[in-house]
Homo-oligomer: A and B are copies of this chain.
Amino acid sequence: MSVIDFLFGRALRSSEERSEKLGAAAGIPVFGLDALSSAAYGPEAALTLLIPLGAAGIAYIAPITISIVILLLIVYFSYRQTIEAYPQGGGSYTVAGQNLGAFAGLLAATALMIDYVLTAAVGISAGVGALVSAMPTLQPRTLPLCLAILLLITLVNLRGSRETGAIFMAPTYLFLGTLGTTILVGIVKAIVAGGHPRPVEAPLALPAASAAVSLWLLLKSFASGCTAMTGVEAVSNGVAAFREPVANTARRTLTTIIVFLAVMLLGIAYLCRAYRIGAAESGPGYQSVLSQLIAAVAGRNIFYFVTIGSILLVLSFSANTAFADFPRLCRLIAQDGYLPAPLAERGRRLVYTWGIITLAVVCGILLIFFGGVTDRLIPLFAVGAFLAFTLSQAGMVAHWRRKGGARIHILLNGLGAVATAATVIIVIITKFVAGAWITTLLIPLIMLMMFSIRRHYERLQAQISEAAPLDVNKRTSPIVVMPMMAWTRVSRAGLQFAMQICTEVHIVHVTSEGGDKDLASSWRKIIEEPLRRAGMPMPQVKVLKSPYRFVIAPIVDYVLELEKKCPGRQIAVIIPELVEKHWYHNFLHNRRATWLKAALLMKGDRRIVIIDVPWYVDD
C-alpha cells in the first residue's frame, strides 16, 4: 500500500473535504489554464486564415479580436449570473437541464465532454509540438513526450484538487508575468514611437496578397479565433470546488481569468498591427506569432526563452482544465443515471477517480492514434463549447423568467444566448467540411448511449426494488454439490463445511480415463463409515465420464440438471480452493476452482449458489 500512498498521497477522510477547497489563487491554474493558454493560439489561428490577404490582412486582426473580446465579455457577464444563481455548481448541464429539460442538458453536456477530450489531447500535443519545433532532435520522441505529460497530469489530478492547484500555480503565473510584461513593454514602446516602433528583431516578411478580402474569409478567421474562448465555462461548472463564500470566490476567479485573457488578446492584436506581425506558413523557417512578437519587443535574449518556455508549459498543462471539469461533469450526469454509476464515486483523494481515468484513457488513445500530432483535431473544437454556452445562456433566460428575475438579468443572458448561438452557426458552417461534421455526428451517438444507460438503470431498478419482506416459511436446506478429484485436506475442508449447512450432499468426480472407477469405493472408508457410525445421511457419489477431458463442463451440466430435477430447491456448489501465498505460485496449478466459479456464474441462475471454501497453503 505504501507505493499507492507515495503515488497518490494518503487517503483523505470525507470530513477533510473543506481543506481540499480552492481559493481564487489556486483556482486559476486549476480551472483557468485552458482559457488563458488560448492567448497563445487564438490570435495565431485567426491570423493564419488572413495569410492570403498578405500585409493587408493584419489590419483585420483588430476588429476580429475586438469582436471576440466583446463576445467573451458577454459570455463572462452571463456566467457571472449563472454562478450566482447556481452556487452548488452551475455548469451548462445543470442550467440547461433544469430549465430546458433533460434533453437540452444532455446535449450541452455531451458537447462539453467532447470538447474537454479534444482540449486535453490538443493542448498536450500543441505544447509538445512547440517544444519539438524548438528542439528538433526530440522529434522522434513526440508521442512518448505527449504520453508522459498526460501521465503526469493524470497523476497530479488523482492526488486531489488542492495539490493540482499548487503544482500548476508556478508555470501559470510565470506565463502571465512574462507574457504580460512583454505586452506592456511593447505597448509602451509603440506609444512612445508614435504607433510605429522599431522591432528589436524584425518579424518575418509578410507574403504578397493572393486573395481579396471577403466576408467568408473574415468569418472563418473569426470562427478560428473563437477557439480562444473554450474553457471559459470551466469555473461555473466547478463552483462547488471553491472555498466559502463559494459564489464569491468562484466569481473572483472567473473575473481574473477573463480580464487577463481579454487584455492579452487585445494587447497581442495591437502589437501585431504595430509591429506588422502576421502568421507564417508552416514549413522550414516557420515561427509562431508569439515568438515573432516577443523577439520584436524584447529581442532574442534570456527573457525570450523564459517566456517561450512558460508558453510551452502552459499549453501542455492547459489539458488540466479538462481534467478538473470533465470528471465533475461526468459525476453530475452519472448521478442522474445517464452515465455509469462509478463515475459518481469519489476516490481516496476525494476526486472522481473514474472520470479522471476515463479522460486519460480516451485522450491517450487519441494521442496514440494520431502519433502525438493532433492538428487534424483542431477543427472539431469550439462547436461543443459554443453549443454548451448557448444552451446554458438560454437556460438562464428560462430560469429568470420562471423566478421572475430582474429584466437586466434576462437581457444579459439573452444577449449571451443570441451571440453564442450566432457563433455556433458561424463555427459549424465555416468548419463543417474540415471536421466539425464529426462533432455533429458524435453528439447524437453519445446521447443515444446516455439515454440507453438510463433506461437500463430504470429497468434494473424496477426489477430489484420493492422486494417483499423476508419469507420465513422457505427454509428447506439447500442441496450441496461438491466436485472432488481426490481425498485431500483441501476437499476434506469443503466436505466438512458441507455437513455444517445441509444433509444432502452430492460428491461429483470427473474422470477422463475411466481408470479411477474404484475411487468411489476407496472413499467409503474415509467418508461413509464415520457417517454410518454416527447414523447420519450418506452423500451420493457421482462419477462423471469425460471423453473430451473437460472437467468444468460436466460439473456445470450436472448442477444444471440437478436443479431442473429439484424445482424450488437451491443448489449450493461447494468449491474447495487451494490458495497459494504468492501470486506466481498460481502458475503451478490449473486454477480449476477459479474457472469453475466463473463458469457457474455465467451459466447458472438464481437458484444456484457458489460456495468457495479456501484452503490456504502454509509457508
Contacts and interface: CB of A to CB of B under 8 A. Distances in A.
Interface stretch (A20-28, A123-131, A471-479): A471-479
A451 to B, nearest CB: 14
Interface in A524-543: 525-527, 529-531, 533-534, 536
A496 interface: yes
A328 B77 CA distance: 77
Contacts of A502: 501
A598 B425 CA distance: 53
Question: How many copies of this protein are present in the complex?
Answer: 2
A606 interface: yes
Contact of A525 (B341, B469, B578): B469
B469 A496 contact: no
B456 A472 contact: no
Interface in A338-367: 340-342, 345-348
Interface in A479-502: 487-493, 495-497, 499-502
Interface stretch (A176-184, A218-226, A297-305, A582-590): A582-590
A609 interface: yes
Contact of A531 (B15, B472, B488, B618): B472
A164 B264 CA distance: 71
Contacts of A460: 578, 617
Contacts of A548: 11-14, 348
A489 B467 contact: yes
B601 A470 contact: no
Contacts of A478: 497, 500-501
Given A11-B548, A601-B579, A529 B492 contact: no
B529 A469 contact: yes
Contact of A501 (B477, B549, B604): B477
A255 interface: no
The range of chain A's interface size is 35 or more
A585 to B, nearest CB: 7
A604 B577 CA distance: 13
B500 A475 contact: yes
Contacts of A500: 474-478, 501, 570
Contacts of A615: 464, 606
Nearest to A499: B475
Given A500-B475, A548-B13, A578-B464, A614 B618 contact: no
Nearest to A460: B617
A489 B463 contact: yes
Contact of A14 (B492, B549, B572, B618): B549
Interface of A: 11-15, 340-342, 345-348, 453, 456-457, 460, 463-465, 467-478, 487-493, 495-497, 499-502, 512-513, 525-527, 529-531, 533-534, 536, 547-550, 570, 572, 577-579, 585, 587-590, 597, 601, 604-606, 608-618
22 contacts: A11-B548, A14-B548, A341-B589, A342-B589, A345-B590, A460-B617, A463-B489, A463-B618, A464-B490, A464-B615, A467-B526, A468-B492, A469-B525, A469-B527, A472-B536, A478-B501, A497-B570, A601-B614, A605-B614, A610-B612, A611-B612, A612-B612
Given A476-B500, A497-B570, 4 more contacts: A345-B549, A467-B489, A475-B499, A611-B611
